[in-house]
Amino acid sequence: MKSMKMFYIALAMIGLILFTAACGGDTNDSQDEADTTENTETENTENEEAASEERTLTDAVGNEVTIPADPQNIIASYLEDYLVALDVTPAAQWSVQGGESVQGYLQDSLGDVPTIPYDLPLESVASFEPDLLLMDSAGMVEGNKYDQYSRIAPTYVVGEAQNNDWRTELERVGEVLGKEDEAAQILEDYEQNVEETKTAVQDAIGDDSIAAIWLVGNTFYVVNDQLSAGDVLYNDLGVTAPNVVQEIANSSESNWSEISLEKLAQLDADHIILINDDGEGSEMLQDEIWQNIPAVQNGNIYEYASEDSSWLYTGPIANEMMLEDIKESLVE
């Protein structure tokens, strides 16, 4: 009996030890969770505080710009794609032809936003009482324009050249707006979409060549193989560029360059993405030269209306929409 009693006492002590250890573990786990939550809350608070304070940043051309805390009236002509992607609504949006032509693919988000001429006349800019101006390129502030704009509102030049890497521009806009994390997530999601689309297109058409062509005013234009839609097709997705596209791109810095009928006759594209501004009745689409292009003869034409298409632009939203168009046309 004595031995049995000692056994139960020992068993009870072991149970007490295990219970105590478990409680200690729960306490440590709870403390770890509390520490993690506290660190996250601290980090979020620091980010919010940083975004709510004035900051001085150096722009693409070396200007030191004081960025206001939480700017509300932003004008960023031709950078609206980046603002919308970052969930920011500009005070005015880029337009041409007296406000009749805007970036159609963004109108679900910008339909109620007033227009401003693309060249940003000073009086038009001032009328919106902006608290921040974002300039797409150094060319927009040549001469004494930078000083004039800066008298209206802090002016930050996002890109140095006429055509800048859109990823870098997104990161810079994200930095200015205190949305670096959001910009990084957009880029991560885009790269994942690129890889998925690239594999799907390769499986669907192999090494077939693709050309993006814009038809406007009975004139054909071909996309540069390094810019805008050409960057998506030939760099991101790695599809084959027809020789004529490469040749024209080598002699032009424009996103879109006119292609003569002589060069059009040499276009050996297997597939054509046609951004049609002239409509179905265009006489150019009935021309014998157009009809003899391999892609036309094989029915590999994928047509989009220019007023709604993102193919004429570049940016995180435009490029994502192009990827979806490509999957819809060539894969699905």
Q: What is the DSSP string of 251-288?
A: T--SSEEE--HHHHTT---SEEEEEESS-TT-GGGGSH
Whether residue 164 is found in the same domain as residue 216: no
Domain assignment of residue 187, yes or no: no
DSSP 155-191: EEE--SSSS--HHHHHHHHHHHTT-HHHHHHHHHHHH
Percent of the chain scoring above 70 in pLDDT: 84
129, two tokens: 């009482």
Domain assignment of residue 22, yes or no: no
Domain count, the chain: 2
Helices 180-205, 316-326: crossing angle, 10 deg rounding: 20
Predicted pLDDT at 37: 53
Assign 162 a pLDDT band (cuts: 50, 70, 90): confident
Whether residue 70 is found in the same domain as residue 173: yes
Lowest mean pLDDT among 168-177, 278-287, 293-302: 278-287
Whether residue 154 is found in the same domain as residue 274: no
Whether residue 67 is found in the same domain as residue 106: yes
Which residues, 6 or more positions from 106, have their beta carbon under 8 angstroms from its beta carbon? 80, 81, 84, 93, 317
**286/288 Cα distance (integer angstroms):** 6
DSSP 225-242: TTSHHHIIIIIIS-PBPP
Domain assignment of residue 246, yes or no: yes
Whether residue 227 is found in the same domain as residue 143: no
Say if residue 23's pLDDT is above 50.
no
Question: In the listed set 116, 146, 178, which residue is the last one of a domain according to the structure?
Answer: 178
Domain assignment of residue 134, yes or no: yes
Task: Give the mean model confidence (pLDDT) for residues 165-190.
Answer: 97
**227/7 Cα distance (integer angstroms):** 82
Task: Give the mean model confidence (pLDDT) for residues 172-193.
Answer: 98
Percent of the chain scoring above 90 in pLDDT: 75
Task: Give the mean model confidence (pLDDT) for residues 168-180.
Answer: 97
Q: Which residue has the tokens 């009809």?
A: 291
Domain assignment of residue 26, yes or no: no
Contact 167, 187 (CB under 8 A): yes
Predicted pLDDT at 242: 95
Whether residue 216 is found in the same domain as residue 265: yes
Whether residue 286 is found in the same domain as residue 213: yes
**57/151 Cα distance (integer angstroms):** 17
**H or E stretch at 326:** helix 316-326
Say if residue 185's pLDDT is above 50.
yes
Query: Whole-number mean pLDDT of the chain?
Result: 88
Predicted pLDDT at 105: 97
Q: What is the pLDDT of residues 41-52, one digit of tens each?
A: 555 555 455 556
Whether residue 206 is found in the same domain as residue 170: no
Predicted pLDDT at 231: 96
Assign 6 a pLDDT band (cuts: 50, 70, 90): very low
Assign 33 a pLDDT band (cuts: 50, 70, 90): low
Whether residue 219 is found in the same domain as residue 298: yes
Domain assignment of residue 289, yes or no: yes
Half-sphere exposure of 127 (CA within 13 A, CB side): 10
Predicted pLDDT at 20: 44
Whether residue 93 is found in the same domain as residue 156: yes
Whether residue 231 is found in the same domain as residue 321: yes
Predicted pLDDT at 279: 87
Predicted pLDDT at 3: 39
Lowest mean pLDDT among 30-44, 53-67, 228-242, 311-325: 30-44
**CATH code assigned at 216:** 3.40.50.1980
- Count CB neighbours of 165 within 10 A: 12
Four-residue CA torsion sign, 179, 180, 183, 189: negative
Does 296 or 27 have the greater pLDDT score? 296
Measured in degrees and rounded to the nearest 5, phi and psi for residue 253 equal -105, 5
Domain assignment of residue 64, yes or no: yes
Domain assignment of residue 48, yes or no: no
Does 52 or 191 have the greater pLDDT score? 191
Say if residue 15's pLDDT is above 50.
no
Task: Give the mean model confidence (pLDDT) for residues 270-276.
Answer: 97
Say if residue 4's pLDDT is above 90.
no
Buried (b) or exposed (e) across 24-41, using 16+ Cβ within 10 A?
eeeeeeeeeeeeeeeeee
Half-sphere exposure of 268 (CA within 13 A, CB side): 9
155, two tokens: 């002016």
Measured distance between the N- and C-terminal CA atoms of the chain, rounded to whole angstroms: 81
Range of the domain at 124: 55-178
Whether residue 121 is found in the same domain as residue 90: yes
Tell which residue, 59, 118, 71, has the closest CA to residue 92.
118
